[in-house]
Amino acid sequence: MSFATIIGVLLGFGLFVGSIILSTENFWVFLNLPSFVMVIGGTFAATFTAYEFRYVLLSLKSLQSVLFINKVTRSILTNEVGRVIRWGYIIQKSGLPGLESDAGKIRHQDRFLGFGIDLVISGYTGQEIREILATTVETTFQRNTVQSDILRAMSSTAPAFGMIGTLVGLIIMLDNMGEDPSKIGPGMAVALITTLYGILFARLVLLPAATKVQQREEILRFRNYLIAEGLALLAERKSPRYIQDKMNAYLDPSIHFSIDRMRKG
């Protein structure tokens, strides 16, 4: 679980609820089922109208995924460099058959890595591998960021339906105003709750989730470019030391891989 995400969500809603409890004894006025239904229902209705059903479902699943820790961490990037360097030594010793044998299981676990290894084994040049894998990286990134785009669109839609709910409440309130003017205050409060729900749903749930999904896809794209460069260097038969220095150039100096430390270990 991503504790930072969970803490952020709980802290955001906790501060909101806590400020209400400290400010008024009538905090139940902030709970209104029709307002909630109008904001949530309207947002989903507009989203399903605007986007294909499959992509909306994927976007909703991505809401759940942000609660879990991102698989591509800084240490993973260092390990990727070390793995490619190890393959460089294997190719020096046993050639491409050695690479094919060593990477057999990994090729089935990681589709991108497996595809890149197949390119190396097939005899493509380093530049050809860079071009093919760059296309793969970018098209994959574009497909996977559709979810964040939909979540971002939902974050723009939710406040709009909150305003629609407010207008509906105001119309009902004004229609009843002649019968009992004392209902203006409570009626106005209920009308404004819908706008409040729309803003909260957008700013505490949808927009942060869209940003995190986008960021994780950018991290994955960076990782894939790092691997693509390493595989291209393997195809060019570069030395493990050169592979180390070239791939480390992509990384923060604090997480550089070191062949010397590996040998000492």
pLDDT digits 0-9 by tens, 107-140: 888 999 999 999 999 999 999 999 999 999 999 9
3-state SS class at 32: coil
Residue 66 DSSP symbol:
T
pLDDT at 115: 96
Cβ within 8 Å of residue 149, ≥6 positions away: 210
Token pair listed for 227: 């691997």
Asked if residue 213 lies in contact with residue 62, where contact means CB atoms within 8 angstroms, the answer is: yes
Provide the residue type at 190 as one letter.
V
Token pair listed for 9: 């969500």
Q: Determine the average pLDDT of the residues in 69-93.
A: 93
Q: What mean pLDDT is reported for the chain? A: 90
pLDDT at 80: 95
- For the segment 207-255, what is each residue's pLDDT rounded down to a tens digit? 999 999 999 999 999 999 999 999 999 999 999 999 999 999 999 999 9
212-249 exposure pattern, b = at least 16 Cβ within 10 A, e = fewer: bbbebbebbbebbbbbbbbbbbbbeebebeebbebbbe
Q: How far apart are CA 47 and CA 155, in angstroms?
A: 10
What is the maximum span of the chain, computed from C-alpha positions, in angstroms? Answer: 92
Q: How far apart are CA 237 and CA 233, in angstroms?
A: 6
What is the CB-side half-sphere exposure of residue 178 using CA atoms within 13 A? 2
Portion of the chain with pLDDT greater than 90, in percent? 66
Confidence of residue 263 (pLDDT cuts 50, 70, 90): low
Q: Taking Cα atoms as reference points, which of 77, 217, 210, 209 lies closest to residue 140?
A: 217
Asked if residue 142 lies in contact with residue 245, where contact means CB atoms within 8 angstroms, the answer is: no
Token pair listed for 206: 């949808």
Angle between helices 207-235 and 53-65 (to 10 degrees): 90
What share of residues in the chain are helix, strand, coil (percent, to 5)? 85, 0, 15
pTM for this structure? Answer: 0.87
Residue with tokens 């504790």, as numbered in its chain: 3
pLDDT at 104: 83
Q: How far apart are CA 44 and CA 28, in angstroms?
A: 26
Provide the residue type at 27 as one letter.
F
Query: Does position 182 have pLDDT exceeding 70, yes or no?
Result: no
Q: How far apart are CA 174 and CA 82, in angstroms?
A: 70
pLDDT at 151: 96
| Structure-model confidence comparison of residues 23 and 189, the more confident one | 23
